[in-house]
Amino acid sequence: MSQHDPALPPHRSARGFHNPPGAPRQRGTTADWLRFLRDVSFGAKSLRQPAVPAGHVLDEATALAQLAAFGERDTLTWLGHACFLIRIGGRTVLTDPYLSAYAAPVPGIGPKRFAGTGIGIDRLPKLDAILLSHNHYDHLDAVALRHLSAANRDCCFAVPLGLVPIIRRLGYRNVHELDWGDVHAESGLHITALPAVHFSSRTPFDRNQTLWCGFGLRIGARSIFFAGDTGWGEVFEHAGRRFGPFDTALLPIGAYAPRALMQAVHADPEEAVRIGRAMQAQRLVAMHWGTIALTTEPAFEPPTRFTAAAAAAGYAPEQAWVMKIGETRAL
């Protein structure tokens, strides 16, 4: 594959990884950033820990009963943020398992979940694969992954470039490092790392030293696009033609305000729909909202904008899912 393939543009240099050409650039002043950090760190408690509407999170008994009721059918269960439990072709896959209370290097310090997981980590089934899009704490949750490794240390674990060492330290042995466009096939699953518009870091000193990505997941005739964490970029127009179409797209719709600061790394709901269309997805599913306050938009605004944008783009209501945390639906 030529590096000039527009679906897989050059994305690394001597300084580390970078976003594809045509990605939005960071805007905003130092004052904008200081104001943002003040608001998300010390702002009103209603921003950091908003009131959660009744029914937003299923109780565990209901969630487990709903999952069990589908038997061996292909299903999708949302566990909050970007974490999905996927049953597809007889395989069980987990995406970006942020399942702890805090998204921070030190538990008790940093952003805290305001909504639970629906199904507790100890009640999850044995996994065939885990897909990890990048190393941010609300996606690479070391506490949860260490806990999961006891029962899943030999499951297929797919990560972007640079993340094998940390995942092996957390107890996993079957780890596969993928560049954009790379494919790993195992147990009937075909996992492709796809471009994303974002960045990486776990400390102030390692920015963009590991890659970020989305994933295409295929088994038999079934296909799912998991966008990971991403802003809009014209790369999706190329990637959709190269790697699509997909039955289902799992799309990030939250963490988009203030727009001047977030446009370069997080899609807003309208851009999420644009990504889904570019990837030629028949069904759109909202994620990356309603779980933890990372930015300043109202916590429960994204779904309203998402469903309106999907309708405007020609998706019927049954093709644009806004799920409850813990809810399972048939694919």
pLDDT of residue 3: 53
Distance CA 139, CA 132 (A): 7
Between 179 and 3, residue with greater pLDDT: 179
pLDDT of residue 133: 98
User: Mean pLDDT across the chain, nearest whole number?
Assistant: 96
Q: Is the pLDDT of residue 56 over 70?
A: yes
Q: Is the pLDDT of residue 87 over 60?
A: yes
Is residue 1 very low, low, confident or very high in pLDDT (cuts 50, 70, 90)?
A: very low
Confirm whether pTM is higher than 0.85.
yes
Is residue 268 very low, low, confident or very high in pLDDT (cuts 50, 70, 90)?
A: very high
pLDDT of residue 2: 46
Three-state SS sequence of the chain: CCCCCCCCCCCEECCEECCCCCCCCCCCCHHHHHHHHHHHHHCCHHHHCCCCCCCCECCHHHHHHHHHHCCCCCEEEECCCCCEEEEECCEEEEECCCCCCECCCCCCCCCEECCCCCCCHHHCCCCCEEECCCCCCCCCCHHHHHHHHHHHCCCEEEEECCCHHHHHHCCCCCEEEECCCCEEEECCEEEEEECCCCCCCCCCCCCCCCCCCEEEEEECCEEEEECCCCCCCCHHHHHHHHHCCEEEEEEECCCCCCHHHHCCCCCCHHHHHHHHHHCCEEEEEEECCCCECCCCCCCCCHHHHHHHHHHHCCCCHHHEECCCECCEEEC
For 278-331, the pLDDT digits (tens) are: 999 999 999 999 999 999 999 999 999 999 999 999 999 999 999 999 999 999
pLDDT of residue 306: 98
For 269-287, the pLDDT digits (tens) are: 999 999 999 999 999 999 9
Q: Averaged over 238-250, what is the pLDDT? A: 98
Q: Give whole-number Cα distances, 261 to 32, 309, 314, in Å.
A: 8, 22, 30
Q: Which CATH superfamily is domain 58-330 in?
A: Ribonuclease Z/Hydroxyacylglutathione hydrolase-like (3.60.15.10)
For 175-199, the pLDDT digits (tens) are: 999 999 999 999 999 999 999 999 9
Domains of the chain by residue range: 58-330
